[in-house]
Structure 1
Amino acid sequence: MELISNLELFQTVFNSAPNGIAVLKSLYDNKDKVEDFSILLFNSCIINWIDNKDYKGKRFSTIFSKIEGTNILEQFIETAETGITANFEQWYGDENGKQCFGFTVVKQDEMLVVTMEDVTEKKHAETALNNALIDAEKQKRLYDSILNGTPDLVYVFDRDYKFAYANKALLSMWGKTAEDSIGRGLIENGYEDWHAEMHEKEIDTVISERKPIRGTVSFPHAELGRRIYDYIFVPVFNEKGEVEFVAGTTRDITESKQAEEKLQQSENRFRKMIHQTPAPTLVLRGDNLVIEQINKHMLQMIGRGEEIIGMRLIDVLPELEGQYVWEQVLKVYNEGIPFDQSEVLVPHNRTGELKDYYYNLAYRPLIEDGEITGMIQVAVEVTQQVVARQKMEESESRFRALVNASSDLVYRMDADWMIMQNLEGEGGLSNSGERGINWLDKFIHTTDLRQAVDLISKSIVEKSIFEMEHKAVNEDDSVRWVFSRVVPILDDQEKIIEWFGASSDITSQKELQNVITESEEKFRQLADLIPQIIWTADPDGFVDYYNSRWYEYTGFEEHEFGDSSWISKLHPDDVYLVSKRWYESVRAEFPYQIEFRLRNANTGEYRWFLSKALPIRDKEGVLTNWFGTCTDIHEQKSTTEKLEILVADRTKELQRSNEDLQQFAHVASHDLKEPVRKIKTFLSRLEEHMEEQLDESSSKYIERIHVAADRMFNMIDGVLAYSKMNADSQKTTIVDLNEVIKNIENDLEIALQEANGKIYFEELPVIEGASVLLYQLFYNLINNSIKFAQENIPPQINITATEQIEAGNKVAIITVEDNGIGFDLDQTGRIFETFTRLNSKDRYEGTGLGLSLCKKIAERHGGSITATGISNKGAIFIITLPFVQKAKDI
C-alpha cells in the first residue's frame, strides 16, 4: 500500500516492464459476488496496446470490450474469489485481427495484479513448427516412396564395403530380402569377383578423394538376364565432414535409345500439357519475357490470338506496366522466388475497355543449367467468385436486417439443442429471451413430443434440416400451431457445432387449411354422387381432378392419371378437333363446349358425350382453374339419327313449302316497298307544305317517322335478300379467300378509317365455292366486328385458318376473332336466328338478318358456323368449309 501511494515511483517500475501489467480492484454485485474489476493502474505497455490513457476507475470489461466470448473475465473472478494464482493463454480480438496473450493473475489483498504477455508470435511459431514436423514426416514418406518406387537401384555402402541400405528394385534384382542382404558384402550378394573388386576400389577412391565417381557395368539380373547399367557413387558426410557412407544409384541403360526417344516424347508431352491444361497457362523466355507457349484458355482470357506468340508479354498487355502483378513477374524472373497469391486485382483491357479482374496467380521460374531462362505463369480468373463473396458479405448485412424485420422467432442452439441466443422477431410466440433452455421443453406440446424427438434424432444422424408443424404452448397456456425449420451448422470435419432455426405462427393458416380440407372433402363427396363425369384443370389446361365416375367409365386407377391421359380414351376421329378446341379455349380463356366419343373400359364401345368447361376466376379476374363436366348423350344422339331420317322425308314437303314461301316473300317485299315509298313521299310534301308552321315537337315527330320508314325499307330489303338466298343457285368456282378479304377491306375502307380499325390475315386457303356468297359471308362478319366495336377501342379483326380431315374430306377451319363488345355465353344459341338482335336498335343499326345469312351461306357450302364470346371482351366465329364442293351448283 505504501508503494501504491507513491504512484510516481510505482508507475516508473510498471513502465520499465517489457510486458503489460495491470492492477485491478474487485467490484461486487448486490449478492456480494465479484462481477467485474475497477482499473487502478496500467503500465505503458498496456496503454500503448489500448491507445487510451483515460482508463482509471473504469471497468475492465468496458476498456477490454472484446473479451466477450472468452473466459478471461471468469478466470480473473475465480482468482479474486479463491486467491489461487491463475496462468492461462487466451486469444483476444475480432475478425479484423486477433492476438494471443499469456495471463498471470495474482491476488494481493483486495487487488489483482495481472501480467499480460503477447505470445502471438510464439503461438504462430509453435504452429509453424508443428506444420514443419508434419511436412518433414511427409517428406520422409515421400523419399521412401520415391526410393522404393523408382526402377533405379539405390543403395548405401559402409566403409567396410557392406550394404547398409538397398531399395526394392535392387532386392528384386538379387531375388533376396533385406534381411538376407543388408550387412553383407558384394560377393555375398552374388557379385562376381572382378565386379566386387572393381566396386571396392571405387569405394576407396570416393572416400579418399571425397568426390563422386561414375561408371558403366554389365551384370546379370535375377529375372531379365544380363543388362547394362550406368552407376554413380557419391560420398555421404557426417557432421564432422568425414565420409561416413558411400551412396550409389544404378540405372539400366540397355534401352538407352528408347530412353532418348522417351525424353523427346516427354518434351512433346510438356508442350501438350501446356495446351491441354484447363488452367490458362503461358511460358515466357529470355530477359524480354517473350511468349514462347500459350494455351487456348490464356488466349481466350486475354482476348487475343496466336499471333502474340513471339511477342513480349508487356507489349501484348501494356496496361500491366507499373502494376503490382508486373512487379511480381519481374521479381520471379530476376530472383527465382516462386509467387503464389489468390484474388490478385489486375486491371487490364480484355474487351476493348479497361476493367478490374481478379486472378489466382502462380508464377514459377524455369531453370536450366543453374540459370533462370524463363518462367511459367498460371492465371485462374476468380472475378465472379470475388464479386460473389463481396455480394455475400453484403447479403450477410441484409440477412441481419431481414432477421430483425422478420415476424418469425429466430434462434441459435448448440449441438444438444439448447437455446443459446434468441435473435429478433416474435412470430406470435412467447419470447422471453431465455437462454440455456432445451428447445423441446420450450416449443413442443406434449402431444407432438414423440414425433419431434424422432425427427430431431434423424436430423442429427443424417446432418439434415429439421422441419415440422407442431403445437406450442404460450405463456398464457394457450395452444398455437407453429412451423419450425432448423438447419445444422457443420464444421470442416462435417461435425454439427450448432443449429440455426426459425419458428413462425401458422395457427391462422392451419385453421384455413382445415376449412379448405373440409370444403374439398364435401366437394369430392358431392361430385361422386353426380351421374356426370366431373373434372377440374389448372390454368394451363392440365387436368388435376376427376370424380369417381371417370374412373368407373375409363377403368383408370384412381389418381393414377391427371394430365392429358384423357386423349387415349377419345375416338381417333375426334382427337384432333377436341384437342384443338380445348387448347384454343385454354389459350383464349373462353368457355369450352364440344361433343365427342369416349371408349368404355368395360364394354369397349364408344359412347357420345357432351363436354363443357367454364374458366373460374378470382375477384381480380385472374383465371385460377377450369371446372368441367362430361354428360353421356349417346341415347340422345341415337334418337337424333332416327330423327334425321324423318327430317329427310319431311324435307321434300318443306322444300315445296319453302319455294312457295320464298315466292310470297319476294312478292310481298316488292309490294310492301310501295306503301313505304308513298309514306316517305307524302311526308316530305307535308314538311314542305307546313315548313313555317311546324314547331319543334312536330319536327321531331316527323323525323321519327322518317327513321321508322327507313328502317322498314331496310327490313324489306333484308327479307328479300334472305328469301333469294335459297331461291337462287350459284355456280361454284375456285375462290381465293385472301382476295375476298382484300376486296372487303377495300369496300369497308371508309368505315375502317372512321373506327381506326385493322384487319389481320395471312395464308388463307383457296377453296371451291360461290364467290358472291362467300364475299357476303365474310362481309357480314367483318362489318359486324366494326359495327359492334367497344367505345374508344379501335376494332382489331384477326382471321386465321387451319386444315383438317373430317369423315375423309379435307375441310378448312377459319376463325374470325374481334375485340368488340362480344356477347354472353347463354346467347350463343340465339345469335344465328332470323331477326334476332342482341343489342338496342337505337344504339346499333341493323335488321337482325346478317348472321342468319352467314349461317345459310355456310350450310349451302356444306359447312357450318359457330360462335362464342365474352361480354366486353370480343367474339369468335368459327367457319368450317370443305375444300371441294360435291355439286357444281349450290
Structure 2
Amino acid sequence: MGELTRNHDWSKTALGTADRWPQSLKTILGIILHSAFPMLLFWGEDLICFYNDAFRPSLGENGKHPGQGRKGHEMWAEIWDFIGPLINQVMNTGEPVFFQNQLVPFYRNGQIEDIYWTFSYSPAYGDSGHINGVFVTCTETTSAVLNQQKLQVSEARYRLIFEQAPVAIGTMRGEDLIIETANAKVLEILDKPPSIIGQPWFQVLPELVGEPAETIIKNVYRTGVSFTVSEFGALLRKNGKLVQGYYTFSYLPLTENEVTTGILQVAVEVTDQVVARQKVAESEAKLNALIEQAPVAMALFVGSDLVIELANELMINYFGKGRSILGKPVRQVLTNPGDQFALQLLDQVFTTGVAYEAKGAAADLTIDGVFGRYYFDFSLKPLVNTAGEVYAILETAVEVTAQVLARQQLEETEAGLRGAVEMAQLGTWSIDVATNGLTYSDRMIEWFGNDPGAHDYNQVIPILLAEDQDRLAAAVAQALLPESDGIYEQTYTVIHPKTGQKRVLHAHGKTVFDASGKAIRLNGTARDITLQRELQTALEHEVQQRTEELATANKELEANNEELEEANRLLLRSNDNLQTFAYVASHDLQEPLRKIQQFGNLLTARQTSLSADELIYIERMQSAASRMATLIRDLLNFSHLSTQRDATRLVPLNEVVDDVLNTLELVMDETKAEVKVDPLPTIQGDASQLAQLFQNLLGNALKFRRSDRTGVPVDPIIRITTEMVEGNELPSGVKPTRTAKAYYRINVIDNGVGFDEKYLDRIFQVFQRLHGKHEFSGTGIGLAICERVVVNHGGAITASSQPGQGATFSIYLPV
C-alpha cells in the first residue's frame, strides 16, 4: 500500500502532490503504513481515504480496492449514512468513538456482505493543531460473531433438547453428588419438584441408600469409569409408596484436568416395556404350555424363514425326525419332493395373511417307525403383530386316518351297494313317518308311473291291485309299531296308471327307530318278480307234468337199483382181487426175483471160470432184476396209497423232514448237498405218507443234478419254504380235493436240471419219465406217489421250471 500511495496521481485531488502535504499527514501515514494492525484514515475536507496492507484483505478481491485517494462518501457510499455522521461527530467534538462487533455491511467480492467490526474512530490533528481528519483502527470479527451466534443457537437448542428430551438427563457435582441440573423427565421419573436442584442425590432419594444403585454411582465417581445398564430394577418412592420400576441408564463421569468432578446421568424408564414383555413372556409361556399339553398336534413357525420355534410331541412325531427339528427353518426339515405343496401353503399364508384349513388331507409320513399314507384335519393361522404384519404361523393338526378310511370304506360300500342294487335291478323306497312322505328311486318311479315326491304314501296305494291295498297298508302300520321287529315284506301288484301294465313286485323293508323306540323312517327295496311269477306258473304246470313222468320213471329206477346192487358186489370183489394182487406182488412176484438175484450173485462169485461176455450178461440180468424189484415196490406203495384210508393226527412237518434228511444223509454227503428248511406248519394227516412225499421230492432234487459247462456236476442246493394262501387267491390251475378258507403252500426248490413246463401234466402220471434210464435211474412212479399223498390230504401239487434252471414243486395243504 506504501508503493500504491507513492505512485498515485495526487495532483488530481484536493491534497495536491505529496511534496505539499503537511508533516502531520505524513507522520500519520507513516504510522498507518508500517502497522500490522488494520488502520484507515479520512483526511481533509473531502475526507480522502488512506489504508494499510493489514486492512487490504477486508476489501475483498472484487470491490473497492484500490481505494486510496478516493473521497470518503464515494468509496463508502453504501454505508455512508452510518459512518458519515460518526466521522462528523468525531471531527466536531474531538471525542473518539468505539464499537464492538458492529454490523457494517459493504460491497466486496462482487456483492454486499454482512460484515461485523470492532473499531474506533479517533480525531487526527493537523500541523496547526486543528482536527483535519479521522483515524480508524479496526478488526473484522465476522467469523467470531457468526461463531458466537451459532454457539448461542446451539446452546439454545441444547437447552431446549435438555428440557424437552424424552429421556431423563441430569448432572451431579462433587463428592456429595449435588444435583446441578435435572430436566423435566428426571423430575417426572423421581416424582420430585424442581426444588431438588442443589440438594445431594441420596438426600433426595434416601430409598436408594444401601441398594446396588448407591454402589454403582459412587464407583463411577471414584474410578471415572462409565457405567451403563439396561432394564435395571429399582424401588422408588412415588405418591408416598415404594414402586417397582425398570430403567435403562448410563452414569458418565464429568472430568476437569483428568479429575472427575461430577456425573452426567442419562436414563429412560422402561417399566412399561419390561412389564409388557413380562406379560408377553407369560403369554408365551402359557402358549408353550398350551401347545405342549394340547390334545392335538400344534407347531409355531416364526419369521419369514418359518423357523419351527415350538412343536409339541404329537407334531414332532408327525414330522418323524425327532426334536432336532426345533429351531430349524421348515424348509430344512421338509426336504422330500412330496413336501413342496406344504411349503407353498405355508409361504402363501405368511405372504397373504389369509388362514388355510383342510379336511382329510393326505400325507405320506413315517409315524412311530411306520411309513404310510395318513390323513389330517389341519389349519394354518397367521399371527400378526400390533402393526398388522404377519410374524408367525400357528398350525394345528388332528389325525383322522381312521375316520377317512372308514368314510372311504363306507363310500366304497355304498357304491358297491348301489352297484349291487343296479345289477340286481332293485328299486329303493323310503317312508318318512313324521310327514308320510314317500321317496322313490328312478326304477320305482318307472314301475309306478309317477313320482310320489310331493305326495303322501297313502295316495300311492290306489295304484295297487285292489285285493293288495288293505294288506299292504296293514303291513306298513305293523312294521312301524314300537313292539314289532320293524320288518316289512310283501308281494303286491302295481297297475301303471298310463299303460295299464300290471307288474308284480316283492318288497323288503326295515324300520329305523329312535332311542325312545319311536319309528322315524321305513327304508326298503323292491324287485320286479313279474317274470318269475309267470315262470312259476309255467313251472307248476311243468312240475305236474313231470310228476306224472317221474312216477313212471321210479318204477324203472327200482329195476336199475337192483342192477346197481349187483355192480357194487362185483366192485367189492374187484377190490378184494386188488388186495390179493398186492399180496401176490409182495410175496409171490418178489420171491422169484430174489432167487434170480441170489443165483446171479453166485455166478458172479465164480468170475474166474466165466468169460467176459458171460459176466456182462449176468450183470445185465442182475440190473434188470433190481429195476423190476424197485418197480414192484413202487407199484405196491402206489397201490397202498390208493386203497389206504387217511390216518388223521397232528403231524409236525419239520419232524417229518428231519427224519427224511437223516435217511438221505449218505446221498447228501456224497453230492455235497445244502438243504435249508424254513419253519413248517403242523397239519392233520398220515406221517408215513407225508414222509414218502418229502423223501420222493428231496430224492429227486438230489438225483436230478445238473452239470456246469465243463461237465462237472453242480452241488445241489435245496430250499423248503412255506407261506399261507387264502382260498380265493389260489392259482387258477390248482384244484385241492378239500375246500378250506386257507392253504399252506410248501415250496421245495432245487437248482437241478429242471424240465419244460409243457410236460407239467405228464410228470405226475404213473410210469412217465422225461429222461432215459441210462441218464437218470427211476421207475416214473415217484411223482405219482407224491400227487396221491397230497390228494389223500385234501390238497394239490404243481410245479414250475425251465430246463437247466432248477424246479419248484408247490404243495397246497388245507389249513
TM over 0.5: no
Q: State the TM-score, normalizing by the size of structure 2.
A: 0.31
Q: Indicate the structure (1 or 2) with the bigger Cα radius of gyration.
A: 2
- Of structures 1 and 2, the one with the larger relative CO (CA 8 A, separation 6+) is 2
